[in-house]
Amino acid sequence: MLGKTLSLTRILRGLCFLAVPGAWPAVWAQIDPVPRRLLQLGYNQPMEGKAPFAGYAFYYHNEPGFVRTNWTLRAAVAPVYADTELGLKGALGPQTDLGIGVAGGGFADSHSEIRAGRWVQTESFTGHAGEFSLGVYHLFNPLADGATPTGLMEAPLQFVGRGAMRYSLFERDDKTAPNFVLPEDRPTGHVRLGLRWGGREPLMTPPVAFELSAWYEGQFRGNTDNYGFAGTTPAEPQSHLFWARSLLAYTLPSAHRFEVSLTLGTSANADRLSAYRLGGTLPLAAEFPLMLPGYYFEELSVRSFALLNGSYSVPLGRRWEIVGHGGAAFCDYLPGLEQPDDFNAGVGAGLGWESADGGWHVLVGYAYGINAVRTDGRGAHNIGLLVQCDLDRGRIPGADGVRSVLGRLNRTGWRGFNGLFRR
């Protein structure tokens, strides 16, 4: 029996807001030249225990030539949150673009406390946020006019620089303990620097992708009073995150497809609100999804990690496919949120379907968290659903699509959608 049941009334109450899930600061490696109109939906449901709602539903729109030929509008819209960015191509030089972003809405900075496989609702709370950002995106190796890439060495190499100011407001959930002290409302400055070779399109299963990238993100808080019971939970004035990813996805002539990625991360002065969060199987929940099949979404809070993910799909006729996937991670947990072992792993399998025109792609699956801690021991079961609708009805980008750099979805950017169902 499912440990948590979502009534139809609760689901409809959440979906009626029609805005973006969580905080999506707009970081792009280059202004995306490909028009996109995508509907994306993802959901994970644990089969035992009680966990925060884990899902996303959003409309993603990218429009080159918006108002002017060198302007690009990107917008993401889902329940109670919206994220937009206006990209100005060549604003700072022939190969240097400028992005101006505005984002805001409800539940963006909500926090779900999960310790040893248990959702601690008395220490969880809701956070709302608004943000303004400026980004600089420089391409080091532009192609000649009219040329198309012919090999891996011509994949785009880009620098990303971004600054943002975010203001967060916190409030209690229905089950937050009365004597639990909330964090003070506060401004936070964000700085991100990155170097990326290649990229991955914002699709469930892009036919081809390649990436090598390295990143730094600094968070500088304007209010650092402790919170929690008796004010004993620290809020660091500064947190610094460093991570790198290598990724390869490819579709073979036989139509078999594989994707493998290795993500390494570490941090300095990470706290509960800035630590890396691993768990779940939601591939578009972040630009760098830290997935562990079978675990609760964002179940593990860690200071540093090494995470290996892989998937392989085999076609069944022209419209169906079988997909197997897995993930394994070595973790250095945040103090107070330790697990018995540093190693965590999970596996899963699913059945996929794609419409004749390629506009719809649906995947239903099961996942097992091998090392997940639960009240009855180790091991956790999870079922999931992923849906993608391409409103351009099966448009397949040409080779230039591989060079486009895709919208950045915040590392923990789905809290807004989750928060709709917390109550």
How many angstroms separate the CA atoms of 69 and 88, rounded? Answer: 9
Q: What Rg do the C-alpha atoms of the chain give, in angstroms?
A: 21
Task: Record the tokens describing residue 60, joined without a space.
Answer: 């993603």
Q: Is the pLDDT of residue 2 over 70?
A: no
Task: Calculate the average pLDDT of the chain.
Answer: 85
361-413 pLDDT, tens digit per residue, is 999 999 999 999 998 889 999 999 999 999 987 554 433 333 333 333 333 33
The token duo for 22 is: 């969580």
> Does residue 163 surpass a pLDDT of 70?
yes
Residue range 234-257: mean pLDDT, rounded: 96
Alpha helices in 299-414 (DSSP H): 400-403
Per the model's pLDDT, the better-predicted residue between 155 and 197 turns out to be 197
Q: Which position has the higher pLDDT, 219 or 406?
A: 219
The separation between CA 299 and the C-alpha centre of its own chain, rounded to angstroms, equals: 14
In the chain, what percentage of residues exceed pLDDT 70? 85
- The CB density around residue 414, as the number of other CB atoms within 10 Å, is 34
**Span 309-344, pLDDT tens digits:** 999 999 999 999 999 999 999 999 999 999 989 999
- Reference 200, options 213, 209, 191; nearest CA is 209
Bigger pLDDT: 354 vs 151: 354
Q: Which residues in 108-227 belong to E strands, given as ranges?
A: 114-115, 118-119, 125-139, 157-172, 180-181, 186-199, 208-221
d(CA 257, CA 250): 6
Instruction: Report pLDDT digits (tens) over 171-182.
Output: 999 999 999 999
Segment among 44-58, 149-163, 250-264 with least mean pLDDT = 149-163
Asked whether residue 415 carries a pLDDT value surpassing 50, the answer given is no
- Helix and strand tally (H, E) in the chain? 3, 21
pLDDT of amino acid 30: 57
Give the model confidence (pLDDT) of 335-357 as tens digits.
Answer: 999 998 999 999 999 999 999 99
Q: What value does the mean pLDDT take over residues 276-298? A: 94
